[in-house]
Amino acid sequence: MQISDTLLAELEELHPRQRTAVLHDGNVVLRAGPGSGKTRTLVARIAYILQTQISAFRGVACITYTNAAAEEIRRRVLRSGVRAEGRITCSTVHAFCLNEVLRAFAHLTGQPAPQAGQVLSKTATEVLLQRCFDQAGITETLAQHRVPQSTRIRRALACGETLDSFDPREVQAARLYEEQLLVRGEIDFEAMVTRAVRTVREHEHVRDILRARFPHLIVDEYQDLGGVLHELVVALRDLAGITVFAVGDTDQSVYGFTGADAKYLTELAAREDFRDLELEVNYRSGQDIITAAEAALGLPRGRLAREGAPPGDVNLEQVEGGLEDHARVACDLVEQAQSREVSPEQIAILYPARGLLLDAVQRELTRRELDFRHEGDDKLPAGSLSRFIQRCASRAVTNYQIHVAPDTDRADMLRRTQAPSLAALARALTTLRTDAQLAPLSSRLSLPRALQMCLDPESLYPADAPALDWLQHLRTGLALDEVAAAHPDQDNTNSLDALTDLCSSKDLLLQELARGEEVIGKVLLATYHAAKGREFDTVILPGLLKGLIPRDIPDRGNWRRPTETELAEQRRTFYVALTRAESSVNLIVGPGYETKNGYWISRGPSDFVIEMARRLFPKEQT
């Protein structure tokens, strides 16, 4: 089979080790540090397999940690000149389990596929868990604070792991919860995976069909998988004979609180039927940034920047006061970067967790009229339908902005725009309809046309038009009520009405609906976790204070110091944040901060920064 020129050129540009990973005929574990081109290699591998290794009737399944990562990988594979429409199934593990296993084989396994509204929303999950807590006699804490712990117990139960380290009452509550799901005919995101594993293990014909459809499985961010997901991958490998390509970095394992464990990546790499490959060059960051990040991690990996890369800056800023000072300095740094012509979307202000620091930074950005995008802003309803609507709003607003821009700016705006394409939106709507078990809107061609008529009409909606009118038009034009009514995910069944209520009660403008999705011209404000997998010219880290990072852990209504394991995970999260920077990373420290009740906590700078400085400058007093 022929390789396209684009893919050939890409293979030539890759490092020989990356190329080996792409071309290896068999299972691969690719372990590598930040910025080493794991994602780039993974994309090339998918394109290579689709073009040369399997027939046009077969495909590749790719499992990623987030929907955004799935969309990005699909976009990049399609850009590499591969005719892959319909042959690449790129989704989160939950979507994979629901659509490719539970739904796809419901008729063969006799297990009913989740129907409208049966996939519990976050709130419904918490309500049910609370009932199980009550039955198990747990009164000292609310169930909503223990969801991650309950998830960990359920995963341990599903994998048959020892439960000794858990509170027996919480184990009982988790068992009750599982029973209740079955009795009520409901499912939640966790149960999707456990039921999918059981289906693959117990049904040979399911395995045969899966292998025929997807002879290759690609898994990104493997270090963030928990035991159940690892079981699924192992079952697909050992029982179904699917070739696995797993990518990850144990140093970037940051989801331990949900039961994820980097040991599964190490286990896979140790297997004889896997080729274990490592990448050593960091193509993203300057050498000074890499060295500082490794010092913060406390593990000198000795990774090298690409040859000729500028060393980059690591700046330490000390403030005298509390979080308001951190916010002021962070905004000064944004303005300085902009004066060096770094575009706003190349600047990220990252924070460890919600709270007073985030509030202070948001206030200061707003006061200075610095346009920013706060990711994780959960004022809008959750769920894939709500997100689809926000992406549509983003396209509508971008179109309008380009339309009213001076002629001279248009070419540049078009080049830089990251508003979703009609094709991407059409794919998202098709997925929503498939999940809701609805027939396609009509013929293949008419879906992009229906989208075009809603989003790019001749007379465009101004960015400051009321969002309500626009949303009503979209609801009808794309038959979204049908999707909401039939969708199994409760978040989606509720979100359309919730969004409409919000638009009318808060008089939201179209641009406010689009806000969370717009990128260009906006500084990013996000958690360390949300910044994972991304890169920015300049990274600003305010609030590096003991108590905030490493931060204390809420536990049964109180706060406690992190355990060793939690501390190590927080350190890795800090490492992830540092390694997002290409040219400049800015650490802001100070003497302490004021709590909500006005108490001054003077615990000084973060231990992570102090340890980092000691390792970098062992002879100097820090």
Ligand X SMILES: Nc1ncnc2c1ncn2[C@@H]1O[C@H](COP(=O)(O)OP(=O)(O)OP(=O)(O)O)[C@@H](O)[C@H]1O
* β 593-594/600-601 pair status: antiparallel
Binds ligand X (CB under 6 A): choice among 31, 38, 522, 546: 38
Angle at 596 between CA 591 and CA 601, to 5 degrees: 25
Q: Residue for token digits 């800090």?
A: 574
Q: Residue for token digits 């380009």?
A: 402
| 547 forms part of the interface with ligand X (CB under 6 A) | no
Residues 6+ apart with CB under 8 A from 505: none
Q: Which of residues 563-622 bind ligand X (CB under 6 A)?
A: 579
Binds ligand X (CB under 6 A): choice among 10, 21, 31, 37: 37
Stretch that binds ligand X, among 4-12, 28-36, 147-155, 200-208 (CB under 6 A): 28-36
Angle between helices 446-455 and 467-477 (to 10 degrees): 160
Per the DSSP assignment, residues forming a β-bridge with 527 are: 351
Q: 36 among the known binding-site residues?
A: yes
Least separation in angstroms between residue 33's CB and ligand X is 7
Per the DSSP assignment, residues forming a β-bridge with 247 are: 30
Q: 226 among the known binding-site residues?
A: no
Least separation in angstroms between residue 576's CB and ligand X is 8
Stretch that binds ligand X, among 35-43, 78-86, 235-243, 562-570 (CB under 6 A): 35-43
Q: 33 among the known binding-site residues?
A: yes
Angle at 117 between CA 469 and CA 199, to 5 degrees: 135
**What is the spatial distance between Cα 276 and Cα 423, in angstroms, rounded to a whole number?**
36
Least separation in angstroms between residue 296's CB and ligand X is 15
Stretch that binds ligand X, among 7-15, 101-109, 421-429, 613-621 (CB under 6 A): 7-15
**Number of residues assigned to the chain:** 622
Binds ligand X (CB under 6 A): choice among 3, 11, 15, 567: 15
Per the DSSP assignment, residues forming a β-bridge with 29 are: 246, 276
Q: 35 among the known binding-site residues?
A: yes
Least separation in angstroms between residue 562's CB and ligand X is 24
363: left (phi over 0), alpha (psi -120 to 50) or beta: alpha
Q: 39 among the known binding-site residues?
A: yes
Best CA proximity match to 158, nearest among 232, 75, 94:
232
Q: How many CB atoms lie within 10 A of CB 618?
A: 8
Stretch that binds ligand X, among 11-19, 293-301, 353-361, 402-410 (CB under 6 A): 11-19
Least separation in angstroms between residue 396's CB and ligand X is 30
Q: 505 among the known binding-site residues?
A: no
Query: Are 247 and 220 spatial neighbours (Cβ–Cβ below 8 Å)?
Result: yes
Least separation in angstroms between residue 289's CB and ligand X is 12
Least separation in angstroms between residue 430's CB and ligand X is 27
Least separation in angstroms between residue 37's CB and ligand X is 3
Q: How many residues bind ligand X (CB under 6 A)?
A: 18
Binds ligand X (CB under 6 A): choice among 7, 10, 14, 264: 14
Rg of the chain (C-alpha set): 25
| 533 forms part of the interface with ligand X (CB under 6 A) | yes
Q: Which of residues 257-286 bind ligand X (CB under 6 A)?
A: 283-284
Binds ligand X (CB under 6 A): choice among 29, 32, 219, 356: 32
Query: Are 481 and 474 spatial neighbours (Cβ–Cβ below 8 Å)?
Result: no
Structure tokens at 460: 């465009």
Q: Which of residues 191-250 bind ligand X (CB under 6 A)?
A: 249
Best CA proximity match to 21, nearest among 276, 243, 216:
276
**What is the spatial distance between Cα 538 and Cα 286, in angstroms, rounded to a whole number?**
12
Cite the annotated binding site by residue number: 32-39
Cite the annotated binding site for ATP by residue number: 32-39
Binding site for ligand X (CB under 6 A): 13-15, 18, 32, 34-40, 249, 252, 283-284, 533, 579
